Structure 1
């Protein structure tokens, strides 16, 4: 088991980061919110140049690592586009992306794209999904809209073939890589802020209380990074517990997001909630990832019921308490 990404995937992620920056960087999400009809056109040329749609995350381990690195780079810039969901698309020509759904009123941040979606439940049942018209402007909805999900298949196979449980695992893991990219950027912005801001005649970064808060937030972020690599490997290997690992990753990512964004906003102060700060956009567009398909409490409850008393296999199987 090697939890370090390949150098090729890491380099692909770095190239994607630079490509998004050259295409507008922070302006990409701002322009998408201001002109929702251009949401796809703003990022489509970049994704095509990067060969995003040539990746086969389901069929090739290297492509799965590259897809994860691409999602992380997209998260760094808070890209207002369901990239992870499109990369997780099932095999077959009848769909453009995969959405994990839960509950009687499924939603997803896919408003206004006109794409064909496949929905999958956490127990692996699949069905076609159609996005409803946006309920309001992106400023208040972050492109989240209701989904009309058709009849779900009974065996999780769907028309595109494959494993419905594996669909759910992949559909949970890749968006967590996007969220990880957002946590990376939030920490980067906060470090830069406390280095240049002064209080009582010295940089905020020199204050011990600030250092403790940043350390706690970085521990949470780095923990998610390790779990994201493990969950990705679990999906790659087709392990029977891949869904357990995906839920564990999602739980850790949501807990870390609470800590990281709380610390970032606290240390930025009021400016962190203003559009002049990239942190404001990151925080706002992290909300769909953090709330859908399950929020923190619901994810914890689902994982608890999923694993029961057997616990997680994890890196050290066979260990006893």
Structure 2
């Protein structure tokens, strides 16, 4: 993962993004159509997950969810200022959560340590020029979540390896029950997010009307899992978890744009609640419909 994950050229690689693109082209990643069938959607998610596991420096979610050959990036709202987009040099337009689109006319790279490929973009002065289905917005959110989940799984694997090899008081760290519990909690957070990802992609095809609510719910779960996994991983690695000689900090840096863009945890929560209030949501106990009062319980006769 190393230098490529951080965006710095690895040994012998002048442009890691271009190299990643060539690798994906070699395996015909563009041949996957996640809109076609559930199976292809799951295949796209597995590819995104594998890319996240090595913090591949490439906008794979945007590539797999492209429309008419052009890449777009989801943003919270076209009215946001500034509009921040990851890998903006490869993206032609931005799409708000309501499906409205606007072409990008200029890009100002930020080149930050936690956002190597992000840029502040300016869209056409007239604002929205078109609208796309919300299922396409949801698909990109779903694939972005898959990328992060892959990175979290790698972080858990590194933590398991470290706690098994590192010794304290003459015993491996993994022999301490409290530390084992933390690793198990992190692993369960990953597995829960992965299962929700697969269910969400199934729902994308089976219940497209709820795709955006499902996608925002998945994003929220992914962000919660990331908080727990990275907290445990860095705590148990100690200072080593922040050293550039180790893979963990590169994984952590590599997924920061995906964790924060298009919405951070608080903004994702607000967007999900607002969307559910407007459109309703399928629950385990039937459909929640906005504006319809809950039935009044009656006393048994």
TM bin (shorter chain): 0.7 to 0.9
CA distance in 2, matches of 1:296, 1:191: 27
Mapped to 1, the partners of 2:86 and 2:115 lie a distance apart of: 8
Residue among 127, 132, 144 paired with 2:102: 127
| Structure 2 residue corresponding to 1:230, chosen from 196, 199, 202 | 199
- Given that 1:116 and 1:130 are in contact with CA atoms closer than 8 Å, whether structure 2 keeps it comes out as no
Counterpart of 2:58 in structure 1 is 81
Aligned position for 1:14:
none
Report Cα offsets for 1:142-189 as digits up to 9, x if no partner. Answer: 2111122234446624xxxxx2x1121112111000001011101000
Equivalent residue number for residue 170 of structure 2: 201
**C-alpha contact 2:102 2:130 (8 A) present in aligned 1:** no
The answer to whether the 8 Å contact 2:73/2:91 transfers is: no
Structure 2 equivalent of residue 254 of structure 1 = 223
Q: Distance in 2 between matches of 1:146 and 1:300?
A: 24
SS of residue in 1 equivalent to 2:255: helix
Find the counterpart in structure 1 of residue 4 from structure 2: 28
Aligned counterparts, 1:66-215, within 5 A: 66-90=43-67, 92-93=68-69, 95=70, 97-102=71-76, 103-111=80-88, 114-130=89-105, 132-136=107-111, 139-150=113-124, 151-153=126-128, 156-157=131-132, 163=133, 165-215=134-184
Larger Rg: 2
Partner of 2:15, secondary structure, is: helix
Question: Closer, same or farther in 2 for the Cα pair 1:64/1:188, shift >3 Å?
Answer: same
Q: Deviations over 1:71-94 (max 9, x none)?
A: 00000001111111111111x24x
Q: How many residues align?
A: 283
Contact 2:186 / 2:228 at 8 angstroms: preserved in 1? yes
Determine if contact 2:114/2:256 at 8 Å carries over to the other structure.
no
Q: CA deviation at 1:310?
A: 8.1
TM-aligned CA deviation for residue 253 of structure 1: 0.4
Q: Which is strand-richer, 1 or 2? A: 2
> How big is the shift at 1:131?
5.7
Distance 1:89 1:155 in 2: 15
What is the alpha-carbon root mean square deviation over aligned residues?
A: 2.4
Residue 244 of structure 1 corresponds to 213
Where 1:250 maps in the other structure, the secondary structure is helix
263, 269, 273: which one aligns with 2:242 = 273
Contact 1:110/1:131 (CA < 8 Å) preserved in 2?
no
User: Contact conserved, 1:127 with 1:153, CA < 8 A, in 2?
Assistant: yes
Distance 1:228 1:140 in 2: 25
Normalised by the length of structure 2, the TM-score is 0.86
For residues 231 and 37 of structure 1, what CA distance do their matches in structure 2 show?
38
Q: What is the match of residue 299 of structure 2? A: none
Aligned partners of 2:30 and 2:254: how far apart in 1?
A: 23
Specify the SS of the correspondent of 1:122: coil
